[in-house]
Copies of this chain bind each other. A is one copy, B any other.
Amino acid sequence: MLKVVKIGGNIVDNPDKLERFLADLASLDGDKILVHGGGKVATAISKALGIETQMIDGRRVTDQKTLEVVTMVYAGLVNKTIVARLRTHGADAIGLCGADGGMILSRRRSPVPVDYGFVGDPQRVDTVLISDLLGRGMTVVAAPITFDPDEGTLLNTNADTIASSIAVAMAQAGVETELVYCFEKRGVLRDVDDQQSVIPHIDPLLYAELKASGAIFEGMLPKLDNAFRAIDNGVSSVVICSAEMIAHPGYGGTTITK
């Protein structure tokens, strides 16, 4: 089973947690794709460069200068640091952004109703390229920068969406695929302040209830939308769990079911 694993910015930004996670990931058998964020590092570098970070609804508005920063940070610093650490732990890692080999082509998001700037959504994943690299025994490390062939530009792209897009494309190419969202919490929580309140399973009915009751932390909604998109489009298993659980069978956390 191919594992598509996504780690968020709070893990990437914590060297100790990142190191432990990468050691665990490298120890796993089988084909693996790691998709990483890096938003906290990008915000820090932007600040150091005197570039103001503007967020709308938790999403980064990406002007030309910010696109340069996220390209540097995601596809350069974070991606290559992860590749180097995975290699040290014995994984033959290769770091790519969506532009590389046309791995993930995207389309710039409409500036209406909200203009997020150089931000796009995946349109096509090159599953042949990915399968070839996995077939060489490589661990693919994907940075959340994609390429819009119509506009000829790099685009900042949500890493949760990239992970689900890769997982769906691989599943639809006939590869049995599991999608694992790893972050700093234990799973989807009924009470965001209570790590013991993990919801073990969420199906569409429960999701609708949780949304209606306002019980779910706002930042979790896009992750859950991506999770349901994946499970609805052929991905065998979707789990949201703690990065600390990646080497544990079943991962603990929250399993998404149809």
Tell me the A residues contacting B by CB distance below 8 Å: 45, 48-50, 68, 71-77, 79-81, 83-85, 87-88, 92-97, 99-102, 129, 132-133, 136, 138, 145, 147, 149, 152-154
Q: Is the CB of A154 within 8 A of B84?
A: yes
Give Cα A45–Cα B99 distance, bound, in whole angstroms: 23
Total copies of the chain: 2
Q: Is the CB of B87 within 8 A of A93?
A: no
A142 to chain B, nearest CB (A): 12
Q: Is the CB of B80 within 8 A of A99?
A: yes
Identity of the chain B residue whose Cβ is nearest the Cβ of A154 in the assembled complex: B84
* Contact for A147 among B72, B79, B87, B129, CB less than 8 A: B87
Give Cα A73–Cα B93 distance, bound, in whole angstroms: 20
A258 to chain B, nearest CB (A): 36
Give Cα A75–Cα B73 distance, bound, in whole angstroms: 10
* Contact for A79 among B45, B76, B83, B94, CB less than 8 A: B76
Q: Which label, helix, strand, loop or mixed, suits the secondary structure of the A interface?
A: helix
Tell me whether A73 and B71 are in contact in the complex, defined as CB-CB below 8 angstroms, given that A84-B152, A87-B152, A100-B83 are known contacts. no
Residues of B within 8 Å of A136, CB to CB, are 101, 129, 132
Q: Is the CB of B75 within 8 A of A71?
A: no
Q: Is the CB of B71 within 8 A of A101?
A: no
Identity of the chain B residue whose Cβ is nearest the Cβ of A70 in the assembled complex: B76
Residues of B within 8 Å of A79, CB to CB, are 75-76
Residues of B within 8 Å of A88, CB to CB, are 149, 152
Give Cα A257–Cα B75 distance, bound, in whole angstroms: 39
Give Cα A145–Cα B136 distance, bound, in whole angstroms: 22
Residues of B within 8 Å of A145, CB to CB, are 80
Identity of the chain B residue whose Cβ is nearest the Cβ of A89 in the assembled complex: B152
Give Cα A85–Cα B136 distance, bound, in whole angstroms: 28
- Sample of 7 more A-B contacts, CB < 8 Å, known A45-B72, A75-B80, A87-B102: A71-B80, A72-B77, A76-B79, A83-B147, A84-B99, A84-B152, A132-B132
Give Cα A34–Cα B33 distance, bound, in whole angstroms: 26
Identity of the chain B residue whose Cβ is nearest the Cβ of A101 in the assembled complex: B94
